[in-house]
């Protein structure tokens, strides 16, 4: 066995340290080893932060203790819970030096070789650096322990790390107080047995990859009997009011009863789902806000501070947040549906936004999300979105799928000024001109699509198949509906368009679809807020149909 083999075998995640100081030379050697690690596209994106302050260590220790309590609660097995509590999982305050190894994701704002397939290649480079540092410290007679049981958002906040810096965790460095009998600590303490050999499988064949076969007309078409229509119309007309006096409410009541196939329709367990993702086109300055606002707003949704949280709470609507492709790694124990395809699409200015495999995965994820929601006996689902740059993506999709010029489809989005609007129009026009693919729906979606938009389209199709009432929010969600309707036109029967937004192309798209929205409030927020605000109107339609007296029951003379 070589000297290197001995180092690799003896390397352990150190939790016990002596009080010996760590010479500066040892740290510099280790950091140099990290710097020598592979770096995708020679980005030099790995950053290091040294911590010696007792106050800083104490604050990080408190973060660990808080999250460790949550970790304890993840198991219902009392014996396993006690075993977990007995483990020593950090040495934040005992280790002489703390090290933060992080990566700078702002390098992705420029063209970076090796990241076209996955933005995560930048993070992988930093993991390679961490490995080299670990090996260097071991060779010098020192050890390192990796602490990852942290709320990373708070971790960054208390350390005042820039938004673009993403830490891998907190690393404890010092002289090991034990060699753990040359075993991983968790193995020595009988938490889990490490396998003796690596798990390696030879792949000898390839699988043919193809887009999910989505028929242009669903087999599950909308059907009602003439008798049902007549009985429902009679019920609406017999209410104590002039014929048609409740206007749109009567239309909604008829639609709701038809979708649910009952003369006494009732919305149960309504759910608004907000799909969030980042867009490569945002790197070209098409938005008034930086891309990181997507991540920040998702955190705001999870903290309950956004408009959609307020309106859902007001109307007793369940809110689900989906990470469809945000350029950020959220903590795994957040109340977030993880449907991440990748960390944002590629910029469709020059290359496809996504691969065919990613497109297929979007449809699979969107379907799975809605199918899981139906298991809660929900029969009403609203769709919302969040993603810096997604009005640009939606505008291009609208232009390509309807034949409208890009100038007719582009608006101010998050609020760009007039000068920037012209730049945005010209850039998107150039992107469409650069497209040399076929005029086939799936190929167009892969080239210009957004992860959240396609997951919404798939979710809408699945909601229709499950006889749900579908609530569509603003411009971007209506583009998702446009895609869904190209696949199955009868989806319109189940769909309620909640409002017409202030985004100029929205009214044009609603006219193209030949649909009328419930509200006109000059909203342009997204998030599904239009769905939540329109929801009481739907409940009013439900209430009058089910509770309002008829002329006969009230003893009121008809006209």
CB 133 within 8 A of CB 31: yes
Rounded average pLDDT over 541-549: 94
Range in 72-76, 194-198, 293-297, 500-504 with the lowest mean pLDDT: 194-198
pLDDT at 219: 37
Rounded average pLDDT over 320-339: 91
Known catalytic residue at 120 = no
For residue range 89-111, what is the model confidence (pLDDT) as tens digits? 899 999 999 999 999 878 876 77
Instruction: Record the pTM.
Output: 0.68
List, in order, residues 6 or more apart from 122 with CB less than 8 Å away: 40, 43, 45, 103, 104, 105, 107, 108, 112, 115
Q: Could you give the dihedral angle defined by the CA atoms of residues 225, 464, 360 and 302, in that order, rounded to the nearest 10 degrees?
A: 180
pLDDT at 125: 87
Bridge partners (DSSP) of residue 215 are: none
Q: What is the DSSP letter of 101?
A: E
Q: Which of 2, 474, 532 is nearest to 310 (CA)?
A: 532
Residue 119 above 50 pLDDT? Answer: yes
- Neighbour-count burial for 56-86, b at 16+ CB within 10 Å, e otherwise: ebeebbebbeebbeeeeeeeeeeeeeeebee
**Angstrom distance (rounded) from CA 298 to CA 303:** 9
For residue range 145-172, what is the model confidence (pLDDT) as tens digits? 999 888 887 898 899 998 788 899 999 9
Tell me the three state secondary structure of residue 165: strand
CB 497 within 8 A of CB 510: yes
Express as a percent the part of the chain with pLDDT over 70. 90
**Angstrom distance (rounded) from CA 538 to CA 497:** 11
Mean pLDDT of the chain: 88
CB 103 within 8 A of CB 45: yes
Place 9 in a pLDDT band, splitting at 50, 70 and 90: confident
Residue 196 above 80 pLDDT? Answer: no
Please pick, among 79, 527, 542, 552, the residue that the annotation labels catalytic: 527
R_g over Cα of the chain:
28
For residue range 393-407, what is the model confidence (pLDDT) as tens digits? 999 999 999 999 999
CB 493 within 8 A of CB 515: no
Bridge partners (DSSP) of residue 386 are: 276
- Chain centroid to CA 284: how far? 22
**Angstrom distance (rounded) from CA 125 to CA 42:** 10
- Neighbour-count burial for 207-228, b at 16+ CB within 10 Å, e otherwise: eeeebeebeeebeeeeeeeeee
For residue range 39-48, what is the model confidence (pLDDT) as tens digits? 877 778 899 9
Q: Which of 430, 440, 439, 441 is nearest to 407 (CA)?
A: 430
Q: Which of 277, 324, 341, 356 is nearest to 118 (CA)?
A: 341
Place 297 in a pLDDT band, splitting at 50, 70 and 90: very high
pLDDT at 468: 97
State phi, psi for 408 to the nearest 5 degrees.
-75, -20
Place 482 in a pLDDT band, splitting at 50, 70 and 90: very high
Q: Which of 551, 548, 368, 355 is nearest to 451 (CA)?
A: 355
**Angstrom distance (rounded) from CA 90 to CA 65:** 10
For residue range 232-280, what is the model confidence (pLDDT) as tens digits? 999 999 999 899 999 999 999 999 999 999 999 999 999 999 999 999 9
């Amino acid at each position: 066995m070589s000297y290197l083999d001995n180092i690799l075998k003896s390397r352990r995640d150190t939790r016990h340290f002596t009080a010996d100081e760590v010479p500066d030379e040892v740290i510099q050697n280790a950091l140099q080893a990290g710097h020598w690690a592979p770096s995708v596209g020679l980005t030099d994106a790995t950053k290091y932060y040294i911590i010696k302050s007792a106050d800083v260590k104490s604050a990080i220790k408190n973060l660990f203790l808080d999250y460790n309590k949550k970790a304890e609660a993840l198991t219902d097995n009392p014996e396993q819970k006690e075993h977990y509590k007995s483990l020593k999982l950090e040495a934040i305050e005992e280790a002489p030096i703390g090290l933060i190894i992080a990566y700078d994701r702002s390098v992705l704002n420029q063209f970076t070789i090796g990241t076209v397939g996955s933005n995560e290649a930048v993070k992988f480079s930093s993991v390679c650096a961490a490995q080299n540092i670990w090996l260097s410290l071991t060779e010098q007679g020192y050890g390192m322990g990796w602490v990852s049981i942290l709320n990373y958002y708070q971790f960054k906040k208390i350390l005042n790390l820039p938004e673009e810096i993403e830490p891998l965790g907190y690393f404890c460095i010092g002289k090991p107080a034990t060699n753990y009998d040359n075993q991983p600590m968790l193995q020595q303490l009988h938490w889990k047995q490490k396998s003796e050999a690596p798990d390696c499988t030879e792949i000898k064949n390839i699988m043919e990859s193809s887009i999910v076969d989505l028929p242009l007309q669903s087999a599950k078409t909308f059907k009602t009997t003439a008798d049902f229509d007549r009985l429902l119309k009679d019920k609406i007309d017999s209410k104590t009011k002039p014929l048609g006096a409740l206007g749109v409410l009567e239309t909604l009541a008829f639609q709701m009863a038809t979708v649910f196939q009952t003369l006494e329709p009732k919305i149960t367990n309504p759910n608004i789902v907000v799909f969030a993702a980042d867009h490569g086109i945002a790197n070209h300055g098409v938005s008034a806000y930086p891309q990181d606002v997507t991540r920040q707003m998702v955190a705001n949704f999870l903290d309950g501070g956004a408009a959609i949280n307020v309106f859902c709470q007001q109307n007793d609507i369940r809110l689900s947040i989906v990470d469809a492709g945000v350029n950020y790694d959220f903590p795994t124990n957040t109340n977030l549906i993880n449907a991440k395809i990748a960390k944002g699409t590629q910029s469709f200015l020059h290359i496809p936004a996504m691969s065919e495999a990613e497109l297929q995965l979007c449809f699979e994820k969107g379907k799975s999300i809605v199918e899981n929601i139906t298991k809660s006996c929900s029969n009403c689902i609203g769709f919302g979105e969040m993603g810096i740059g997604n009005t640009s993506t939606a505008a291009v999709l609208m232009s390509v799928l309807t034949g409208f010029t890009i100038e007719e489809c582009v608006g101010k989005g998050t609020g760009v000024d007039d000068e920037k609007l012209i730049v945005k129009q010209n850039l998107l026009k150039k992107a469409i001109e650069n497209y040399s693919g076929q005029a086939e729906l799936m190929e167009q979606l892969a080239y210009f699509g957004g992860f959240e938009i396609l997951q919404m389209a798939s979710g809408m199709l699945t909601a229709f198949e499950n006889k749900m009432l579908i609530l569509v929010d603003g411009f971007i969600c209506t583009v998702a509906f446009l895609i869904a309707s190209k696949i199955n036109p009868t989806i319109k029967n189940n769909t309620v368009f909640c409002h017409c937004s202030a985004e100029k192309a929205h009214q044009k798209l609603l006219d193209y679809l030949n649909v009328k929205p419930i509200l006109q409030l000059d909203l342009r927020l997204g998030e599904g807020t239009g769905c939540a605000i329109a929801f009481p109107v739907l409940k009013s339609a439900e209430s009058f149909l089910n509770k309002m007296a008829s002329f006969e029951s009230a003893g009121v003379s008809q006209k």
